[in-house]
Structure formats: structure tokens, C-alpha cells
Structure 1
Amino acid sequence: MTTLVIVESPSKAKKIQAYLGTGYTVRASLGHVRDLPASRHEIPARYAAEPWARLGIDVQAGFRPLYVVPRSKAKVVRELRELAAKATRVLLATDPDREGEAIAYHLAQALGLKGDVQRMTFHEITKDAIQTAAKRTRPLDYALVGAQESRRALDRLVGYGVSPVLWGAVAPGLSAGRVQSAALATLCERELERMRFVSAPYWRVTATVGEEPFTAVALSVNGRRLATPRDFDHAGNVTGEALVMTDEQAAKLVAYLKVRPCLVERVERAPFTTRPPAPFTTSTLQQEASRSLRLSPKQTMDVAQKLYEGGFITYMRTDSPALSDEATRAARDAAEQAYGPGSVPAAPRLYAAKVKNAQEAHEAVRPAGRTFRASADTGLAGTELALYDLILRRTVASQMTDLLGERTTVTLRVGAVVLQAVGRTVRDPGFTRAYQDTSETGPDDDAQALPDVREGESLPVRDAAAEHRRTPAPGRFTEASLVRALEKAGVGRPSTYASILSTIAERGYARVVKRQLVPTWLGLLVNVYLREHFERLVDVRFTAAMEEDLDRIASGELRREAYLTRFWTEGLAGVIAGAPRLSPTLAVPRVPGATVTVRSGEVVLALGSRTAPLSEAVVPDELTADVVEEVLSGRLPPGPNTTAPSRRGSGRGSSGTRRSARPHKGEARSGKRTARAGGRTR
């Protein structure tokens, strides 16, 4: 008897073959073996004349999909069909998620498998897990297949329906997508906020106080609070009664502080507790790898795929932070071995998914096995070692004790001036001995350790300074923060974020510059058009509701045909038919009358009767009146501004931007000037 086991990749097949041994033949399908036709050449002759054939979905017949075996997969399918005919049993061991379930379904159809199709599912590639999975098979889950088919149909209906409209209105080769367009809208709205933002100046005055020096910040003078960034609106106006000091007032305040003693008015101490972060889900892994390892989401998923297939970590596409009992014990054992028995709490920590219908209730991303291999014992190197070590430390830390500390707030007075110093002291580092969560870093002033001072105590002021600052514009998204924003909004699924970001870059809609995602003029114009004519497509709430509907299809609560009918027939189809093929126009917020549009394949800046090509090297939020004049007068070389999609992959290393797309002037923490007593500046 021979059992044929089909997985997706050759490396996975080789590993699993070794674990199953004789009696099993393990082969790879190399991913999907059937899909909707990608071009007219893939459409079977008997369907070529059908008006819906290019779409690949017969919307008049219950949204019946037309699946074909791509030419590149014909040989693989033929070989697998021959092996299946000789085998006594076929197990479809594709990934344990909706995509994997769909691949298994298409394999069954392409190979002509009869009867109950059996799935072999596992979340880690270890000997125990594979041998157990081979014995505990289950039938194909058609609800999951239906959910994936619905997602694929939605993506095809949106992409093939809206993209040609963009070709006529903006430029050839562009694309729209169900999740892609909502993600682009999120990026562009932030850039438009920056374009409308007006930075306002303010002074921050500090004093160095005490024999054991610490820093205190001036809060008020004569009972009037000094302005901070939260006191200004986006137009740079003060919204309350806060005092915005002039240069002269700031210098006088510094001089005033330097010649007077400081009285401790109040000391407040409050204990704080920080729990360890949950084990990684797909999205939190992408976010943390971006922050601490400087990996893009795509790079993270590529490396994680290798670790999974090598048997080092569990399946890396999951919405759930839960750990199995086995993994919980392994994490606690690893913590105790490394940091002692007091490093774990009495009871194990339990984590639950925060999103609805967490992707088929997978475990978190964690080291594979009943015991966790130390990073030094894996034989890994480079980014694979770094990512494994990150996953190991996060998993172990999730079962360790809390960080315990004390936060101290000292209120001081120097005559008419009230100052405040904030500090924190760690009493027990807890889980931070294994892992420091970079997403939980606090403000700089909170990091200082304050000396033990008493109320009523007089302290010397050793120095004082005033720092000239400007209010910061809303920060651009990084890849990590965009992933976090999309997940929080319920847009897309973690397994899709890497491909979404790659698509946005490949289409030329955004670039990664100094780790920031900077929308291009093309991206902004595409967003303008979609927002004007396909408003629901860029509405994150609508897109999130679509994800919930897909979850309902997966659970059997909603019928696929009914949902697609409502989406297409009652919604998108009519909008597509009525959308005008007129080029979108974006008004430049800071320059009245100035607009950006597309003409003859070029991005063009216009003001009155004057026009000029606008290079993508001109950063959108830096298009001021001066820059507009430079462009229109030809003093700023236009550079490349083609609307053709970029093919540079992630966008890293793309052509530089004017002023290197640096953060808005108001975002600089260090001021240009420092006021001292007597009004000196430097």
C-alpha cells in the first residue's frame, strides 16, 4: 500500500517524506494548480466566445468560476495524476488555512479524486506533528473553500472591473483592489493631512535641578499654562488659553530660573505593572520584525516560510496569539532554565484572539516542538537566525512575570514658575529580561531615574535652557504602522498584508523612503479618482465589513451566491458603468489655485495658465508656494514623472526625493535655536 501525500513546496515535501518513511510518497504541487484565467490565451476554446470568459466568472449563472490549469502547471498536474492513480490513498497536506483548503480542493478536482477527499493538517513540521497528522485526517472543509472562492471572486470582480476604468481616466497599467485601494486611501489621507498642516513655533523650557541632577519641564508662569503641541490645531492656531512665549519671553524665563532656588511642592509615587506582550500573530510579527530587524513584511514572511518549512517554527499565517498546552509548558520551562524558577507566575498565561473568527483558530507563531531549541543550537544564520530568536524570546517572555516598577511625578516651584519632573524606576524587570517590546517605548522624560526628594525641600537650579520647537505634522506610516492600522480597522487579513504593500509599491503608488511610506503623486491621484467615483471601495469600514461577511461564509452563516449577487449586481457593476473617464485633479492645499492632474501620461502641476511636469521626486507635503514657483519656472528639474507602474519591487532604493523626503520641518525634536539668559541664540 502506498499513500500519496501532496504538499505545496519541494522543501516541505523532502522534510515530511523523511518523517513518514516507507509506505508514503510525498510530492509538491508548487502552490495552486488551478485558478481563474490570467489571460485570454488560457480560456478554453468552448468558452472563448462567452462575454464573461475574460472575467473568468459567469455572473449570470450564480457567479460560477471558470477554473483552468495554467500551462506552467500542466506537467505537475499530469505527474500528480499518474501518482494518484497508482496510490491506495491520497492525503492533501496543504497549509491549514483557507488558501490551503482551496488548493486542496483544486487538487482534488484536477486529479479527479473520487469519494471523500482527506485532508492532512498540521501547524508545525516536526516528526511527532507529521506522524500524528497522517493518522488524524479529516474531510475537506467546503465552507472554507467557499470563503476563499468568494474572496478570489471579489478580488477578480473589483480588479477586472475597476482597473480598466483607471486605465482610461489616469494611465494604462494601473490597478485597483478590494483591500489594496482601502490601504492606499489610508496612506493618502495621512499625506493629505500633512499637506494641509501648518507648523507652529513654541518654546520648551527645562531646568536641571538638584545635587543629583534631574530634568524638570516648565508647565506654567503666573498660573498660565505654557503651550505644548496639543494646544495648536492643524492650521497652526492656538486653540485655548495657553501662553505661546516669544523669543524674548523664553530668554527671560531661562534667566529667571537660573538665579532662584527650587521648592519641591508635591511628590507623587504610583506603582505600575506591565504585562508581557502576547505571542506573535502574523501581523504583530511583521510589525516587530520591521521595527527591530528592519525587515519589510514581505521579507518577514519569506524568512518565516523558510523557518516553518525547516521545522523551526509553527505555521506563520495566523490571527491567534493562543499557545497550546504543550507550547505553554515549553515556554515556561525555557524561562525557568534561563532565568530561574521565580521568572514565571504560578499559573500559565492564556491568550485569546482579539479578532472575529481568528484564522481557523491556529496557534500563535512560536518555536516548533515540545521543547524550544535555543537560538545557538539551531544552526541558523543571518536573518533566519534573527527572526527565529525574535520569535523564541517573544514566546518565552509571554509566560514570564510582569515588569514591576514605580512612576514618580515631582512638582516644583521657582517663584511664579511651576515645573514638573517625571521618572520611573524598575523594581523587577520580569519578562523584559527575555524580550523588550519596542512598541511600548515611552517618552524620553519618563526614562530618567529621579532621586529621593521630599515635599518642602529646597533644591538648587543648576542650569536652564529653552528649546525652540515646532509642532509636528501627523507622522507618515511605516510598513509596520500601516499593517497595525489595517489590522485595527479590520481591513484584509494578516496573510495578505505583505502582498498588499508590495502591490502598492509595484504600481508606483508609494515608495519607502527612510522607512516611511511616502505616497507618490500618482498614488494620490488614483486615490482622488477612486474616492470620487468608487467611494465604498476606499472606505475602510466597508472593506472591514466585507471581511466579516467572508468570515460568515467560512462559518456557513452566509451563502456565497447571495453575497456576491448583492455586492456585484446591486452595487459595483452599476458604478463601473457610470464612472467617467476624466482625469482626476488634486488641489494643492497650501497654494490656492494650484492643482495636480494627469495629462498625456504625465503628472502635471498647474497654476492659472502656467503648467509644468511634476516630478515624483517632489514630496507631496513639501509642495509649498516656493516649490510651486520653482517647478513652474523650470528652476527645479522635472525628473522622471511617468505614470507607468514601477517594477522595482518593494520600492526600496528607488530614486531619491527632493530634500530626501525628510520628515516635516516641525517634526524635528532638536530645535534650530537655544535661548539662554540675555537672549543669546545659537
Structure 2
Amino acid sequence: MSKKLVIVESPAKAKTIGKILGHDYLIRASMGHIRDLPERAFGVDIEHGFLPQYEESKSRGRNLSELKSAAREAGEIYLASDPDREGEAIAWHLREVLSKLNKKARFHRVSFHEITRSAIDRAFRNPGDVDMNLVDAQQARRVLDRIVGYQISPLLWTRIERGVSAGRVQSVALRLVCEREREIRAFVPQEYWTFPAEFLPEGGRDSFVAKLQKINEGKCEIGNGTDAAAVIAAIRSAAAWKVAAIDVQPKRRFAPPPFITSTLQQAAGAALGFSASQTMRIAQQLYEGVDIGRGPVGLITYMRTDSVAVAVEAQNACRAFIASKMGQDFIPEKPNVFRSKSSAQGAHEAIRPTDVNLTPESLKAALDPQQFKLYSIIWRRFVASQMAPARQERTSVDVSGRGGDGRTYTFRASATVTKFPGFLRAYNVAEEEVSGDDDEDQRFAAVLALLRQGQACRLVRADSEQKFTEPAPRYSEASLIKELETNGIGRPSTYATIVNTIQVRKYVEKEKGKLIPTDLGFRINDYLVSSLPELFQVGFTADMEQKLDEVEEGKHQWTQMLGEFYDKFHRWLQSAKDEGAPPSEKTAALIREIGRIRNWEKPERVPGKRTFNGERFVRSVKEKYEKDSKISSRQWETLLSLALRYRDQLPDLEETAVRGGFAEDLHAADAKRMEHEAERAEWRHQREEADKAAPPQENIGKIFEAMKQVKWLPPEKRRGREYDDEKFFQSLKHQADSGRPLSEKQLSALGRIFEKYRDQISDPEKLSPILGTAAPVKKELAPDVQNRVRELFRIFDGVTNWAEPVKRGRRVYDDREFVQSIRKQIGQGRTLSPKQIAAMEKLAAKYSS
């Protein structure tokens, strides 16, 4: 009997599927793509229909060899990669490579959106073929991105700095972040005033707070302190107040649809503090399978989707669960059906649990804390999506009175009461709540419900509060993904990568959960937007995404689509290259003048470990000019620099510049050169001064020798960066051993490390003067305080059941982690602050029972 080979992407997925299929199948993992465009070459033959020049992955060499060996022995090969463009492309590449090794084997494409026995059985009973429309859409995206990245990035190297890059979609995401930041910086706050007042109804015991809504019949718009003082004086001098109007409006709040990729990333960011890439990594684990005590089980459906559709079987199972656990009232008469966007992939489902009966609590012991949190919101959102709407009642009350200035002042208080919770019973994440009116205050719902039309009220107090308008908030990862989705940029499989890439490349930094462009990010964005405005327009990028969707649907031939794109792209690229280029007559005059140089200096090393040969450079520029009648702005700048460098051989340079029309360019280049030389001189002077002040470098070896036996603390992460003392120390030692002196900053850092590990160093007092450090004066806690700290730790040592971490606003409070950090601080010999000791006391009281 011939062997049946099943190929998936990952070992985790292989393990879960292997448990379902049993011993009749050999399961292997491809570890992602086995072929791709070359890493260090363009890899696209534009002249021959944009033919991609794929290479087998060198990093997957051993794994690919094992796949090939398995394929040679197989009679049937099932390609079970993920059900999207990337997964289809992986399946196609596998077939292209493996079919050459075993021409007799039959290839099957099996596709499923959840890893469950029923889904796997159904897929293997009805195998299909590779969907070439999906493959072509993936190839088109890959080639598009390669064209833009490889041909735009070199422009950035000459205009910005080497090593930076542009991306067809990532650069548009960067543009959104930069434009929002500039909008914030340009924002001019406008002053305005609000007037909260507390009223006590006649015959009532409880008061309520309302805000000034109208003055006479006009909107309350007070923009300065003088007017605000007059208004508050008039309010306080009013003779009487009464309930002028009561409005009660019933409303229904409908269940949200189950998650798709973008909404899951947004919800996990807002409610759990997860990054987009972190969310997708955890979701991948839940999809591929987690051991819940009976082997690995796929817990959620495929997590890269833009469809809110739900399988009828899952819908019915969910309705049955709701009825049994919550009652018939919580099920709508007809199942809730949600409409996906027109661009959504119809064969896909929303993200949901594979078995609604596997509640989060039933899986808590099997999941790690992050998996539990993400599974919980996926499960709750899905269950809520099939529940009845919440019935609510919104009450608004107006209280009016005639002020001391004769004008009528109307205050309004509002509150919403939930009469029937409906879906809110299952899903009510506060961070995702759509807030109602800003004036709503649920604390006063009961008081407002008892008020009567015309009822007198007593003014208890009235205040005026100065406020200022605020700009639109900076993007978080979640809100940037929402903006990308709204504008039609990116797709479920790319959102996390886009947001992650602009951070990894240091174009954007995350600060307190908000994305802020770096100086490098601004410079790259400004250049791209000014030099290639059409390419990096939000609308153009969205249009390309639509065309890729049309390729996937079979409406557009992928190479034709690339041809249409490249015709425009090539023109835009050439225009960007020509930007700032000199007129032909200037170029000709300068090239003729530089041609008089006879004695060229030897080629020299320049930053970036490249060798610059001036004579060869001039020759290549001359050849380009003779061929194209133009040169680039960068080449022009370099020619001017060379002319100034060799001016002693060019006695007529100034006169030639005037006649050739480039005198102004030459003077600007000379000023730039002099400024650069002044900066270099200042830098050399500072370096010399620092070297004088620095300890003799020959003695630094004693420090390295003394610290050889140090037991290093493990690396730790702070604000997204990893700090590794041992790795940094070894890099300094390697530099010193190779004969390169340490800089002032490096010596200072070495001094800090020395002090941190001082207790492990023998005779540190003799070594301190080498680094200019002294023995630190340790601040000891008072004996009674030390004893109390020891008592507190004894209490914490007895705690076996720590409270779950709690998220308040953007911060997560974790009791266990806090105690561990205090223990670590004491272990490092650092003193506790009074504030830390007070926090420990409070925590000990919480766990003392």
C-alpha cells in the first residue's frame, strides 16, 4: 500500500492533524515557504512578463531534504497549508518542487478553516486542486513589493542614509502616522468652559449632577474666563430651578459580529494590551492546537480572515449552548446573520471557537495566561454574536432657571438603564464600549427615573471648569490597523506585519502604547511623499489592493496588472531620480573643467567600508552623461565636491563656474564643505579632550580581568528593548582586546556595570580609581523597617493563590510580579523607597488571610 504524505506549515499543526488522521498518514511540516525570491538579488525578470526567479530556501535546506525523501516514497501527497493566498502559494511551490521528484504521485489540495475531526474528515473526503487565482494574487503582491522595495530603497540611500528601505504598503502606514503627528504638533488648543451643577429635587434625598446645555435657546459656548465668571455668577444668583423637560427613549443595542482579523487585533490591543503581532502569534497557537489533556486540539478557526460568516452547524450549536446556560430569552427568534464587506473572502469564516462548549473556564488549566485571555474574548464575542439584543432606556432631564442676568439657563443630565442585558451578559469589554452622550452619568440613573415634570430643585453647588480642545489622538497599533482597514490598505494576513515593520526599522516608536514617528521616519516620509506622491497616496495603495483582490477572483490577469502598474511606476521613479538634477549645459561645463585634473589621489575608504575612486567616478559620470544627456542630483553634488577638492589644479574654476551657470551651486557646495570641516574639527577636539580626561586605556584590562568571574544577571526587557549586561561587557572587552580605545560613553557604561556587580569583585576599592568611580554610600533601612520588610516577605511566601493581573487604563497590575521585582531589587543591594514599602504593606493586608 503506497504511503500517504500530508504536508502542513508547522510542527504544531502537524501534531494536531496527525492525532486526527492516525497512522495511515505521514505528516510533515514545510516550516513555511520552501521557495521565494532571492534574498540578495532583484529576482524579477521584468522584460519577460515579470517572471519571478524563485530559489529554494537555504535556511530550510535540511527540512526540505526530508520533505523530498518523504515525497519520493509517497503515492499520494496532500497539501494542507493554510486557506489563504500565502497558504495556497506554499502548496503550489511544494507541488512544483516535489512533482519533479515523483512523477507518479497524485497531489491533492486539502483546505480547512478549523482543525477539528469533522473539518479534517470533510477536507480529505473532498480534496481539490491548487487554486491558481489565489497563487497568482500572492505572486503579484510579492513581485509588486519586490519592485517597489528594490527600486525605491536605493533612492533613500542617496537622499537619507544607507540601510533604510521603502515598502509599498509600510510607507503608506508611515505616512498616516507622520501626518497625524504633524496634525497634533500644529494643533492650537481652543479654550472653552463647562459648568457642572448639583441639584437636589424637592422632597428627594439624593442629588444629581447636570451640565449647562443652553443659555436662553442658544448653545452654551463660553470661550474665556471673563464670560465664564459672569455666567457662574448669574447661575448662583438664580431664584428658582425646576424640571423643565423629561425625555425617556427606549433603545435596543444589537450584538456585534464575531471577530475578523482586524477587529480581533483592535480588541486585543484595547482590552488586553497585546500588540498586533503578539495577538496573531497567540491566535496561531490556538488555531494549530493546544494540549488540553487529551492531546492537541485546535481551539479556534483560522485567524486570518475578513469574513464575519459563521457555519450553520456552529451557529446552531451556539444557540443551543445559550439556551441551556442562559435561557430562551437570550436567543433571538432568528439566528443573527452579519454581512461581510464586499472584498471579504466568501469561503472563509469569522474567528470563533471550534467548540462553543469548551468554555474559557473549562480550559484555564490547559492554557497559558495569554492564551486564556485571547481565547476568552474570542469565545465571549462569538457567543454574544448569537444572542438577543440588549434592551435599554435612556433618560434625559432638563433643569431650567432664570439667572441673575435675566437669561434662562438650562442644565441637562442623562443616564441609560439596561432593562434586559441580552448579549451584554456574555460580552461587555469596557475598552470597546461605544460611549453614549458625554453628559451621561450612570450614577444618577435611579434619581433621574423618579423626577417629575415641573418638580422644583435646589441648586446645591455650581462650578465653572476651564478646558481646552484636544487634537486627534496619536495612533495606537489597534487604531492604525482600523485606519488601514477603513482605507482599504492591507489585508488580514498583512496588518500585523505592516505595523511591526515600521517599528522594527525604527521609523516609528511606541511610547505608552502610542505610535510616534522618529526623526528618521519623518525624513523618509517627507522624501517619499514629495518625490513619489502618486505611488504613496492612500487611494492608490487601496486601488492596488482592490486589483489584487480582482486577480484572486479571476477577473484580472496578474502579469497584465503588473504591467499596468509598472508603466506608471517607471515614469514616477525616473522623475524622482531626475529631481534636483542640473541642466545639461551646467553638467557639460563642469565635466569639461574636471577633465583637466591630472593628479588624482589614491582611492580612499569612506563610511560604509566602500572604496571611493575619484577618477573612476568622474569617468563613469561622463559616460552616463554622454549616453543619457543627464546625471542625478547626487552625482552633481559629488562632482562639485571633487572640483573644490582639486581646485589647486583648476585655476579657472571660478570663471568657468560663472560662464557655465553653476557659480551659485559651487559656492553653496563650498559653504557646505567648510561647515562639514568645522564640524569634523570640533569633533576631533572633543575626542582629544575626552581622551585626556579618560583613564589610561592600558589599565582598563585590569577591570576586565577582575570581572571574569562575575555571575551575570539574566537579560531583561525594558520598554521593548533587551538589556544584556554580559553581552555588552564582552563587546567592550573585545574592542579593548583588539587595540581600539573605549570612548568616554563606553567607559562611563563600564563604570556603571562595575558598580552594579561590585560585591562580586575582589578588592573593588583599588580598581575604582581606574574608572573614576568610588565605593557607593549604601543607604541602609532602619533596623525596625528591615524587620518589617522581612515579616512582609514571610506573608508573601505563604501565598499560594495570587490574584489574576488586573488592567486599569493602559497599565496592568500584577501582584505576584510586583513582589518578585521587590525581591530582585533587594537581591541587587538596592534600597526600597518609602512608597514601595507602603505598597508592600497594602498588598500584605490584602493577602494576610
User: How high is the TM-score relative to the length of structure 1?
Assistant: 0.79
Matches within 5 A, 1:259-658: 259-260=237-238, 261-310=240-289, 311-356=298-343, 358-359=344-345, 361-369=347-355, 371-378=356-363, 379-415=366-402, 416=407, 417-437=409-429, 438-442=431-435, 443-448=437-442, 449=445, 450-568=448-566, 570-580=567-577, 652=720
Q: Number of matched residues?
A: 564
Q: Which letter maps to 2:456? A: S
Of 306-315 and 111-120, the range deviating more from structure 2: 111-120
Aligned-partner Cα distance in 1 for 2:718–2:283: 18
Deviations, residues 80-112 of structure 1 (Å, cap 9, x unaligned) = 111111111000000011110000000111212
| Alignment-derived partner of residue 182 in structure 2 | 192
In 1, Cα distance between equivalents of 2:718 and 2:109: 35
Displacement after TM superposition at 1:355 (Å): 3.9
Instruction: State the alpha-carbon separation in 1 of the partners of residues 241 and 213 from structure 2.
Output: 14
Distance 1:548 1:279 in 2: 24
Determine the C-alpha separation between the residues in 1 that align with 2:246 and 2:178: 45
2:262 corresponds to which letter in structure 1?
A: S
> 1:55-204 alignment to 2 at 5 Å?
55-112=42-99, 114=103, 117-204=107-194
Distance 1:386 1:502 in 2: 22
CA–CA distance in 2 between the matches of 1:221 and 1:325? 56
Write the distance in 2 (CA, Å) between the matches of 1:537 and 1:388.
39
The 1:116/1:565 distance shift into structure 2, 3 A limit, reads: farther
How far apart are 1:444 and its partner, in Å?
4.7
Match of 2:633 in 1: none
Q: Are the aligned partners of 1:319 and 1:353 in contact in 2 as well (CA < 8 Å)?
A: yes
Q: Give 1:654 shift.
A: 9.5
- How much does 1:649 deviate? 11
Q: Does 1:256 align with 2:234?
A: yes
Q: Which amino acid aligns with 1:220?
A: K
Q: Does residue 5 in structure 1 map to residue 6 in structure 2?
A: yes
Asked if structure 1 preserves the Cα contact closer than 8 Å seen for 2:77 and 2:106, the reply is no
Secondary structure in 2 aligned to 1:60?
helix
Pairing 1:214–2:193 present: no
Q: Is 2:220 the partner of 1:226?
A: yes
Secondary structure of the equivalent of 1:190?
Answer: helix
Displacement, 1:399?
0.5
Structure 1 residues not aligned, in runs of 5+: 40-53, 228-242, 584-598, 601-608, 613-647, 656-662, 664-682
Q: Which has the larger radius of gyration?
A: 2
Q: Are 1:23 and 2:24 counterparts?
A: yes
Identity in percent: 40
Q: Which amino acid aligns with 1:196?
A: A
Indicate how the Cα distance of structure 1 residues 651 and 56 shifts in structure 2: closer, same or farther if over 3 A, else same.
farther
Moved more, 503-512 or 333-342: 333-342
After TM superposition, give the deviation of residue 407 of structure 1 in Å: 1.5
Structure 1 residue 471 displacement after superposition: 0.7
Matched residue, 2:843: none
Query: What is the alpha-carbon distance in structure 2 between the residues aligned to residue 222 and residue 367 of structure 1?
Result: 56
- Describe the superposition over 1:24-78 as per-residue Cα deviations: whole angstroms up to 9, x where unpaired: 0000000000000001xxxxxxxxxxxxxx2110000000000001211222222
Does the 8 A contact of 2:76 with 2:107 survive in 1? no
Kindly state the Cα deviation for residue 256 of structure 1 after the two structures are TM-superposed. Answer: 3.3
Question: For residues 116 and 262 of structure 1, do their structure 2 counterparts lie closer, same or farther at Cα, with a shift above 3 Å needed?
Answer: farther
Structure 1 residue 361 displacement after superposition: 2.6
Cα deviation digits, residues 455-502 of structure 1 (max 9, x gap): 222211111111111111111111111111110111010221111111
Residue in 1 aligned with 2:649?
A: none
Q: Which residue identity is paired with 2:236? A: K
Instruction: Check conservation: 1:77, 1:110, Cα contact below 8 A.
Output: no
SS in 2 for 1:579: helix
**Where in structure 1 do 4 or more consecutive aligned residues deviate above 4 Å?**
113-116, 580-583, 648-651
- Once the 2 structures are TM-superposed, how far is the Cα of residue 248 of structure 1 from its aligned partner? 3.7
Please say if residues 12 and 309 of structure 1, whose CA atoms lie closer than 8 Å, have aligned partners that are also in contact.
yes
SS at match of 2:301: coil
In 1, the alpha carbon distance for the partners of 2:572 and 2:227 equals 59
Change (3 A) 1:546 1:194: same
Q: Secondary structure at the match of 2:482?
A: helix
- CA contact under 8 A between 1:502 and 1:650: conserved in structure 2? no
The Cα offsets for residues 151-191 of structure 1, whole Å up to 9 and x where unpaired, read as: 10111111111111111111111111111111111111111
Deviates more, 1:380-389 or 1:208-217: 208-217
Contact 2:395-2:449 at 8 Å conserved across structures:
no
**Once structures 1 and 2 are overlaid, which stretch shifts more, 287-296 or 359-368?**
359-368
Equivalent position SS for 2:341? coil
- 8 Å CA contact retained: 2:307, 2:349: yes
Give the SS at the match of 1:460.
strand
Letter in 1 for 2:359: A
**One-letter amino acid of the structure 2 residue matched with residue 221 of structure 1:** I
Q: CA distance change for structure 1 residues 359 and 207 in 2, over 3 Å: closer, same or farther? A: same
Distance (Å, rounded) in 2 between the aligned partners of 1:143 and 1:271: 50
Q: What corresponds to 1:586 in structure 2? A: none
Deviates more, 1:206-215 or 1:194-203: 206-215
CA offsets 1:488-546 (integer angstroms, 9 cap, x no match): 11101022111111110011111111111111222122111111111123211111111
Q: TM-score, normalised by structure 2?
A: 0.64
SS of corresponding position for 1:279: coil
Structure 2 Cα separation of the partners of residues 223 and 340 of structure 1: 49
CA 1:355–1:210: 2 relative to 1, 3 Å = farther
Contact 1:259 1:461 in 2 (8 A): no
Flag the structure with more relative contact order, 1 or 2, with Cα contacts below 8 A and sequence separation at least 6: 1
Alpha-carbon separation, structure 2, partners of 1:8 and 1:74: 15
CA-CA distance at 1:650 after TM superposition: 12
Residue number in structure 2 paired with 1:616 = none
SS in 1 for 2:60: helix
Please list the CA deviations of residues 540-589 of structure 1 after superposition, one character each: whole Å capped at 9, or x if unmatched. Answer: 11111111101111111111111101111x11123223314989xxxxxx
Residue 36 of structure 1 corresponds to 37
State the superposition RMSD in angstroms.
Answer: 2.5
Letter in 1 for 2:128: R
Structure 2 residue matching 1:84: 3-state secondary structure: helix
Q: Determine the structure 1 residue equivalent to 2:611.
A: none
Distance 2:32 2:182 in 1: 40
